[in-house]
Chain A
Amino acid sequence: MKIIVCVKQVPSRDAILRINETGTWIQDRDLAYDVNEPDAYAVEEALQIKEKLGGEVVICSLGPDRVQMAIKEGLSKGADRAIHICDPALDNLDALAQARAMAEVIGKEGFDLIFTGLQSDDYGFAQTGVILGELLGVPSATIAMAVEVQEGEKSVRVKRELEAGWFQWYKLPLPASITIQSGLNQPRYATLKGIMNAKKKEIRKVTLADLSLSRELLTPKQKIERVSFPVKSKKTEIIDGSAKEAAAKLVTKLKQMRVL
């Protein structure tokens, strides 16, 4: 079983975001980055399948040099090798354009399964895994809460999360592309041995020159023109003062609300 896991590096969830001077993007100079959360679950799911059935787990990440941190995290946990698609021309495109670059690389690499996180914390497109399936001509299923490779490794059963507590199992022939929901497993920590081993593992770099994509195929069809903090729809009364003062004021309010 050969599983490609697409991993994205995103600003840490507790990073305080600021908008740049031109109002076109965030100030990304001193940001802390993490592996996109559902992607970490995708890596774990792939590793568990490999431990059961054998095979290979390949991390694939698109982004600037800093994403090597995210790649190495996957390698340290037990992925076999990685592909780093790295080219400034591929940054900040829309989901379709980026998926086109990834699909070409993954298509040449070959695979039984593609795992992606269900969406990224930054752009939140929630599309890459589905588009990869379409471009590579394989079926896709999203928001997986369980993945079971069937005997003979010809098909996979996926437990999809629907809304309001509903679920549904789907059976897909392999190869397939599946987007992974957070919480379907318990991601492991890298061991010291794993971290040492990772240093010897291959990270193959791919640039735009290695791809046969025309400029037209990479032209984004949607562009962010301006970013801003959301305008508050409700007037929030901010209670200030020290922790003790704020707590006392809040208790007064709770009494007024008759919840105390």
Chain B
Amino acid sequence: MSGILVFAEQREGKLNRVTYEAVLAGQRLSAQMGLSLSVALLGFGVDTIAQELATKKANTIYLVNNEHLQSYTPDGFSLAMRQVIQELQPKYVLLAHTYLVRDFAPKLAASMGKSLIADCVSYKLEEGNLTLVRQIFQGKINADVSIHDSAPILISFQAGAFRGDDVESGSAEVKALSVKLSAEEIRLQPQELFREAKQSVDLTQSKIIVSVGRGIKSQENIAIVEKLATALEADIGASRPICDSGWLPMDRQIGSSGQTVAPKLYLAVGISGAIQHVVGMKNASAIVAINKDANAPIFDIADLGIVGDLFEIVPALVEEIEKAKAEG
């Protein structure tokens, strides 16, 4: 075969829903390019996930069942996936750009002398020529990337690049595919997954969140935003760098490694809107952004924006809110 192969991600026996985004990308490309579509599912005892995948429109679900794939390791997954690719000879291999894929896909690609085209947000197909669109400079700029390589071409798509809910239903055949792995090849020993217990602030139920980012410049300035939060009776959130610096506790962090929130109003102050942050707040009913850079990606998703100096705007805003509240 010389088709499209999608990597299905599961961990601890649960399918990562973002897999459907990669499957949808595969469905679209397979229709446009006239290529067959297969999905590879790696794990141990994950037959029910294969059945779940088989309800989607694809030619074949390849179930790779091996005891050395029970717990995820980059060694096991990249060795197994390489054998799957050698067996199936796909033209394109599509993956969702998750933390797990980031951990093994560059290794898989390099082991075959390939260059993974990572974290793409869309593709363009012109006269049979595939171009990928990647974000560079933390989402501030898009780059059209051309491919100068032979099959297999490995591409990962950013979470949210495709709407997983739009994946087409159908029925695919499930086939077993065996790989050879030995214990010595798996150099890493994984331990149990865990969560930090100290998550004491739950921002998922907040109605209004005032969130602060790098633009605040110093810890002392956090007070400026806290005043705004008080005036709006809002909870305070933050982007990663603020928590990394210890200016606000880790449980205030919103984004891919923090909390995912959906308040009525999300007011982003001095937040540029890197994808890692955006995935945690894009479902807010209304997004207001205050940022000095008119090209900041946060303005791509904001409903309302003020371009300017937060150190002037936020105090003025607090004053106006107090005035409005006094007027009732």
Contact = CB atoms under 8 A, between A and B. Distances in A.
A162 B190 CA distance: 13
Interface residues of B, number: 97
A94 B109 CA distance: 13
Chain B: interface secondary structure? mixed
B305 interface: yes
A143 B99 contact: yes
Nearest to A258: B264
Interface string B199-218: 10000000110000011000
Interface string A21-60: 0000010000000000100000000000000000000000
Given A134-B111, A239-B306, A230 B300 contact: yes
Contact of A236 (B304, B312, B317, B319): B304
Given A139-B74, A140-B74, A230-B141, A222 B304 contact: no
A167 interface: yes
Contacts of A125: 106, 118
B188 A133 contact: no
Given A142-B102, A171-B188, A254-B265, A227 B148 contact: no
Contact of B306 (A123, A186, A224, A246): A246
B308 to A, nearest CB: 6
A234 B111 CA distance: 41
B196 to A, nearest CB: 7
Contact of A171 (B109, B118, B189, B323): B189
A223 B148 contact: yes
A130 interface: yes
Contacts of B306: 238-239, 246, 250
Interface of B: 73-75, 78, 98-100, 102-104, 106-107, 109-111, 113-119, 131-132, 134-149, 187-196, 199, 207-208, 214-215, 232, 240-241, 243-244, 246, 256-260, 264-265, 272, 286, 288-289, 293-295, 297, 299-309, 312-313, 316-317, 319-321, 323-325
29 contacts: A13-B272, A94-B115, A97-B115, A121-B138, A130-B102, A134-B78, A143-B99, A162-B100, A163-B98, A167-B194, A168-B191, A169-B191, A170-B189, A172-B187, A222-B115, A222-B132, A224-B136, A229-B142, A232-B299, A234-B303, A236-B305, A243-B312, A246-B316, A247-B319, A250-B306, A251-B320, A251-B321, A260-B232, A260-B325
